Amino acid sequence: MAEATDFLVIGSGVAGMWFALNAARGGRITMVTKTEPQESNSRYAQGGIAAVWSEDDALDNHVRDTLVAGAGLCRRDAVEQTVREGPDRVRDLIEIGTQFTRRADDPETYDLHQEGGHSHRRILHAADFTGQEIVRALHAACVAHPNITLLQHHMAVDLITERHLSRRQQTLPPAEDVVLGAYILDLTSEPGAVEVHPAKATVLATGGAGKVYNFTTNPEIATGDGMAMAWRIGARIANMEFVQFHPTCLYHDKEHHFLISEALRGEGGKLVLPDGSRFMPEVDPREELAPRDIVARAIDAQLKRLGIECVYLDMTHLSRDEVAHKFPNIDARLRSLGLDMVTDPVPVVPAAHYMCGGVQTRLNGETSVRNLFAVGEVSCTGLHGANRLASNSLLEAVVFAHKAADTCLERLSSLPPPPPLPEWDPGSAVDSDELVVISQTWKEIRSFMWNYVGIVRTHRRLERALNRIRLVKDEINDYYWDFKLTGDLVELRNLVNVAEMIIKCALRRRESRGLHYTLDFPETDDRLISDTVLERWL
């Protein structure tokens, strides 16, 4: 068993590292990451971080834009807290070394983008690789801090709770469950090497679950691990039906995950069909700057209507110098693939991008299970409602991670050390000689989730998906207990849990709202303004 730590942080994106850096002011941190610490959903955030920065803008404007995008389901107190504290958190990021882009004509002033759903320019960015730059600065600060221990190539398997202990010890379960740490798989060792990591408090910062779908802008690690682990111990999960599909993922046979930032549409980019005609003016008065759910559905409708594989984003109105200054990363990647946005429209399709639902939290990031916190995309704070406003995700990550760190430090002196925890019990598991089962099942889940639980849904398709996921889940559970653990097997188990939660939430919402659109209930019903909450009774 590993030495007990004050705070166990599972995940190393912006939310996890910001929590660690702030909680390390008074506590010892162990941070667990599946690959390299810089690899996370955060790293691939291109557009920027939204905050009221210009004198022409106001907090009320940002609040209003967020509420409008959220389609009636935002928690106003979560929105106001995030918007109010946002500028201070951005200043903190600048203080630790984050280099945001400044205006070419005024180097003393930060360059502000405008994206879909925003009424003002308020997106601070580092060219078009903002997430990568913030992750760089945070990682450098975390590595230098003596109170932070980083475990690379380790993966959480399950959370350990007092209820778990009572089952192992055959005693009465506690009246209120408490998280005591986690079982962690060492991915550098032989299959089955699981370590016990006790902690006074545990923080989920595992990001989203884009890999539950065939097409996604997310990296390979986005398998919904934190959501699944929290679900298995009975934490409340909310609004999983609201999966944000980014309208513009690059469509190319050599690149399947590359995001074409919304900031391009903010700089005048137009969506066009193969014949060069536009379609967004007929869909929404905001045209290409409509919220993402509207733009993604509009593209999806054109693909199905015309039987085409993609639409195009036309940026040819920008000069070579403008593209090089504003979008150097995107420009370089496109040109490496033989595409040039200065001269030709870019082929794009929608792809799964962001989970607006997740582990339900309070305003300080605490979940419904004591001593368990969730920050970043893994959480459902109430900020995003039924549809996330562009560039509010990095903002949410730092605001709620900061709140969670403050709460944990305030409680630290009163948190007892965790009791002795039992070692991982592998039972009679043996090494697997059928790894094809994992890869095949993974493909099957992602395929029927894309076809049945995608941008446009029907009740019949959802029922079909639920029936199939139950069969797959039984197959995976049998396999899980028969064979020693590998990273792929743990991810597959988590993936099927997340898929089932998305389907169940979608079936419960008998209306169309925000990111959830169903042909059976195409209208919004204001009698149904409430969160869709799942809770597993143990």
Average pLDDT for 296-317? 93
**What would the two tokens of residue 156 be?**
């959480």
- Report whether pLDDT(129) > 80: no
Average pLDDT for 356-379? 97
**What would the two tokens of residue 301 be?**
């409708």
Q: How confident is the model at residue 324 (pLDDT cuts 50, 70, 90)?
A: confident
**What would the two tokens of residue 372 be?**
């368990």
- Report whether pLDDT(194) > 70: yes
Where exactly are the structural domains of the chain?
Answer: 246-351, 436-525
What integer best gives the mean pLDDT of the chain?
92
Name which CATH class applies to 246-351. Answer: alpha beta
Q: How confident is the model at residue 54 (pLDDT cuts 50, 70, 90)?
A: very high
Terminal alpha carbon distance of the chain: 26
| CA-closest candidate to residue 127, choices 342, 270, 322 | 322
Residue 197 pLDDT: 97
- Report whether pLDDT(218) > 90: no
- Report whether pLDDT(44) > 80: no
Q: Which amino acid, one-letter code, is at 334? A: L
Residue 43 pLDDT: 63
Residue 359 pLDDT: 98
Average pLDDT for 145-150? 96
Q: How confident is the model at residue 143 (pLDDT cuts 50, 70, 90)?
A: very high
Residue 180 pLDDT: 97
Average pLDDT for 260-264? 85
- Report whether pLDDT(318) > 80: yes
The SS3 of residue 204 is strand
d(CA 383, CA 43) in angstroms, rounded, equals 21
371-429 per-position pLDDT tens digit: 999 999 999 999 999 999 989 999 999 999 999 999 999 999 999 888 889 998 887 77
Q: How confident is the model at residue 58 (pLDDT cuts 50, 70, 90)?
A: very high
Residue 116 pLDDT: 76
- For the chain, what percent of residues have pLDDT higher than 70? 97
- Report whether pLDDT(42) > 80: no
Distances (CA, A) of 228 to 11, 76, 293, 435, 446: 14, 27, 25, 22, 16
**What does the H/E/C string look like for 3-69?**
CCEEEEEECCCHHHHHHHHHHCCCCCEEEECCCCCCCCCHHHCCCCEECCCCCCCCHHHHHHHHHHH
For residue 291, list its beta bridge partners: none
Residue 502 pLDDT: 98
The SS3 of residue 370 is strand
Residue 521 pLDDT: 96
Residue 190 pLDDT: 74
Residues in the chain: 538
Q: Which fold has domain 436-525?
A: Methane Monooxygenase Hydroxylase; Chain G, domain 1 (1.20.58)
d(CA 52, CA 54) in angstroms, rounded, equals 6
Residue 477 pLDDT: 86
Sign of torsion, CA 92 93 95 101?
negative
- Report whether pLDDT(313) > 80: yes
Plot region of 12 (φ>0 → left; ψ -120 to 50 → alpha; else → beta): alpha
414-429 per-position pLDDT tens digit: 998 888 899 988 877 7
Which range is least confidently modeled, 40-44, 68-72, 317-321, 381-385? 40-44
Residue 128 pLDDT: 72
Which range is least confidently modeled, 133-147, 288-302, 455-469? 288-302
| CA-closest candidate to residue 504, choices 516, 486, 520, 522 | 516
Please enumerate in sequence order all residues whose Cβ is within 8 A of that of 106, keeping only pairs 6 or more positions apart, or say none: none
DSSP state of 91: H
| Residues assigned a catalytic role | 292
**Fold identical between 246-351 and 436-525?**
no
478-498 per-position pLDDT tens digit: 888 878 888 889 999 999 999
